[in-house]
Amino acid sequence: MASCLASVVAGVGSFLPPRVVRNGDPPLSGLDTTEDWIRTRTGIERRHWVEPGTSTGDLAVEAGRAALRSAGDPVVDLVVLATTTPDHHSPGTAPWVAARLGLGTVPAFDIAAACSGFTYGMAVGDAWIRSGSAECVLVLAAETLSTITDPTDRGTAVVFADGAGAAVLRGGDSGEPGAVQAVLLGSDGTRKDLAVVNAGGSRHPDPEGAAALADRCLRMRGPDMFAHAVRRMTEVSRLLLARLEWPVDSVGAFIGHQANQRILDKVADLVGVPATSRFANIRDVGNTSSASIPLVMDDLVKTGTVPCGARTLLTAFGGGAVWGAIGLTWPDLKPAV
């Protein structure tokens, strides 16, 4: 394939809040569940939750700082922040994060694409770079899902978690390691019932704070969500591989949104991804929504697990419903010291 202008991953970073909640710890220990059920049905053994007072923006700043350091602290001309749990309804969280990172008056905005937020953020960064509108983009994905989780709902409390990940995209050549090769996104708003926070938005404002806890928190139709996640991530992954003419056994790294280990296994099985190319850390971090893919990427960079230039497939599905897939080659990154 002839080389052309592309966005290239020049740095990655992540951050997890220090508080660790194991399956047997409160408040999960007070639910009608067992450590074994959580581990075997979701793959999760522990997750990180923020302490009260720590916001999504706080986590994003730390992940962003790490990613910028990993990229050699370049001049950034766009910041996008994917999140389901912004610091405020208004204003967006990205400008505050950009300011905290010392990036000046750079354009900065939030992206609401639920668990697919990182793929949407990468798509935006990639498009800005390929159109010549930006030379370097900081893509952040950060969540404090514990702040919108009903601790008495065993269907969500055991899975959702907090964390942040980030990638730096710079302009480069499609033949370089780390170059984004293709992006596919999709949505189906007729299924907004799959995962929704009912109260507090303009459709059901809650100015008195009188709504029931259940309506102020994320409600999820777990099994429905499971089925749609498998279907959409499988479809979009197959389409992306076909578009790139990548045989599935040539994929060196497959990183799916970490909703549930069983979903990841099912998608990888259906697509036919070799067992040695499947990477996840859901056991240690839970479902961190948009942050889950860059959290894995950063782990893989730190451990040097994936060879530079390896064909890499990212895919995600989230509430909305929204989904996406990105094909890139594995970047040439050394762990930050």
Rounded to whole angstroms, the maximal C-alpha distance in the chain is: 60
- At its nearest, how many Å lie between ligand UT7 and the CB of residue 92? 22
Out of 154, 216, 238, 283, point to the residue binding ligand UT7 (CB under 6 A).
Answer: 154
149 binds ligand UT7 (CB under 6 A): no
Rounded to whole angstroms, the Cα distance separating 17 from 62 reads 10
Residue 155, exposed/middle/buried by CB under 10 A (0-12, 13-18, 19+)?
A: middle
115 is catalytic: yes
257 is catalytic: yes
Pairing of strands 78-82, 136-144: parallel
Out of 68, 82, 229, 300, point to the residue binding ligand UT7 (CB under 6 A).
Answer: 229
Q: Which of 48, 228, 257, 260 is catalytic?
A: 257
Pairing of strands 311-318, 251-256: parallel
CB 194 within 8 A of CB 224: yes
Best CA proximity match to 145, nearest among 213, 280, 49? 49
- At its nearest, how many Å lie between ligand UT7 and the CB of residue 311? 25
Out of 115, 137, 236, 328, point to the residue binding ligand UT7 (CB under 6 A).
Answer: 115
Q: Which is nearer to ligand UT7, 44 or 169 (CB)?
A: 44
Q: Which of 23, 48, 115, 228 is catalytic?
A: 115
287 is catalytic: yes
Which residues, including other chains, have CB under 8 Å from residue 40's CB and lie 6 or more apart?
Answer: none
3-state helix, strand, coil in the chain (%, to 5): 40, 25, 35
Structure tokens at 234: 């499988």
Which residue sits closest to ligand UT7, CB atoms considered?
222
Q: Which of 23, 260, 281, 287 is catalytic?
A: 287
Rounded to whole angstroms, the Cα distance separating 264 from 260 reads 7
- At its nearest, how many Å lie between ligand UT7 and the CB of residue 217? 14
246 binds ligand UT7 (CB under 6 A): no
Out of 42, 93, 146, 315, point to the residue binding ligand UT7 (CB under 6 A).
Answer: 42
Strands (E), the chain: 5-15, 20-22, 46-48, 78-82, 108-111, 136-144, 162-173, 180-187, 195-197, 218-220, 251-256, 311-318, 322-329
Out of 222, 294, 324, 331, point to the residue binding ligand UT7 (CB under 6 A).
Answer: 222
- At its nearest, how many Å lie between ligand UT7 and the CB of residue 265? 12
37 binds ligand UT7 (CB under 6 A): yes
Q: Where on the chain is the footprint of ligand UT7 (CB under 6 A)?
A: 33, 37, 41-42, 115, 154-155, 158-159, 222-223, 225-226, 229, 259-260, 263, 287, 289, 317-318
Q: Which residues are catalytic?
A: 115, 257, 287
